[in-house]
Structure 1
Amino acid sequence: MREFITGNIRRHIEPTSEEMDILLSLAVSRTVKRKEQLLKEGDIARHQFFVLSGCLRTYTIDTGGKEHVLMFAPEDWWCSGDLHSFLSGLQSSNTLEALEPSTVLQISKDKLELLYQQAPKFERFFRILFQNAFVFHQNRINANLSQPAEGRYDLFRKYYPGLESRIPQKYIASYIGITPEFFSQMKANMIRKKS
């Protein structure tokens, strides 16, 4: 576990062994069952999660009761379920749920503040993570407004390589904003075009 999360963190900062000790002393490892919710709509997002194994999904439910998948968090991803709620302390409009049995490392907002004090490099790390999350969601909004379904599907495969074989198609369809039936038809058409 230590090597895995250290590899993730070293993409943005170079923590010392002591700084990693501080992070790992403040974070808690948690095993999550399939369909277990780590954040529910209406709650306040109080944790950042690093996915050690498994896959999480963040979704919202519209006024008609339809689910809309906003993002996935497979291994080696960080997420909160609702960054706005995490940063503002306001209620979440999203739900964060395990799609597979998962193991996560979670750190509370209070412990994160303590981490910033004891190992200031991590403030830069999480600032970069939050900036990257903003850019990711901005690009997703732009794609949803300007790309056809095939283009959005290609972006899904780019952002989440290998995930398609692990999760139900209905969640991918929801993520790219189409029905599962249209998704099946679109994939069949794409295969026909290639042959």
Structure 2
Amino acid sequence: MELILQNIDTHVHLTTEEQRLFLSKTETLFVKSKTIVQTPNKVATEIYFVNHGLLRSFSVTDGIVEHVLQFACEGWWIADMYSFISEKKGNLFIEVFEDSEVVVLNKENRDLLYEKIPKLERFFRILAENSLVTHQERLIDNLSITAEERFDKFCKKYPTLIQKVPQKHIASYIGVTPEFFSKMKAKMLHKK
């Protein structure tokens, strides 16, 4: 539980008593690879913090084409935030990509913690703002820079994932087909 408390401490400081209360309102789960913890058409009632492992969120178009929105490595948060905030049915899958340990915070407990520890509301606001900035930057990148440049940014942002994640998921994240990605990578390696 130390990692999640360190994560919170990057933005707000909790007293020992507040830390205990926070931890008492969470649940730590060990989840096997390939487990889907969130599905579309279901209201998201939980957010996840990755203590160890890797998760990803994605949508599926026409029942076959996956679009990866986010990877969540150790120390990262992940959720279908549209559904979690709006309390409407979601549109994302969240999949455990490798055996993982996650801390689960449900909406009811989050709201209770906001009342009991108001500085947590500030913490989650900062997370939401940072997420908005990251998503806006990614959208602008998808509209204005080449796939090679997007792949380079991916490598810098997620250096440990290059060996862990199949190329088809990296291709999806940067917005290209697996075939294009394979040719692009070969071309980039040939240039070096």
Match of 1:117 in 2: 115
1:64-86 Cα offsets, whole Å, 9 max, x none, are: 62111111011100111x11111
Q: What is the deviation of 1:28?
A: 0.2
Matched, 1:40 2:42: no
Q: How many residues align?
A: 192
Gaps of 5+ in 2: none
Aligned to 2:167: 169
Q: Distance in 2 between matches of 1:44 and 1:141?
A: 25
Paired-residue identity, %: 46
1:68 is matched by which residue type in structure 2? H
SS state at 1:101 partner: strand
Amino acid of the structure 2 residue aligned with 1:149? A
Rounded Cα–Cα distance in structure 1 between residues aligned with 2:27 and 2:2: 16
Partner of 1:13: 12
CA RMSD across the alignment: 1.1
Q: TM-score, normalised by structure 2?
A: 0.96
1:20-99 alignment to 2 at 5 Å?
20-63=19-62, 65-80=64-79, 82-99=80-97
After the TM superposition, which of the residue ranges 58-67 and 144-153 deviates more from structure 2? 58-67
Q: What's the secondary structure of 1:43's corresponding residue?
A: coil
**Moved runs in structure 1, 4+ residues, more than 2 A?**
none
Give me the whole-angstrom Cα distance separating, in 2, the residues matched to 1:193 and 1:67: 30
Q: What SS is found at the alignment partner of 2:83?
A: helix
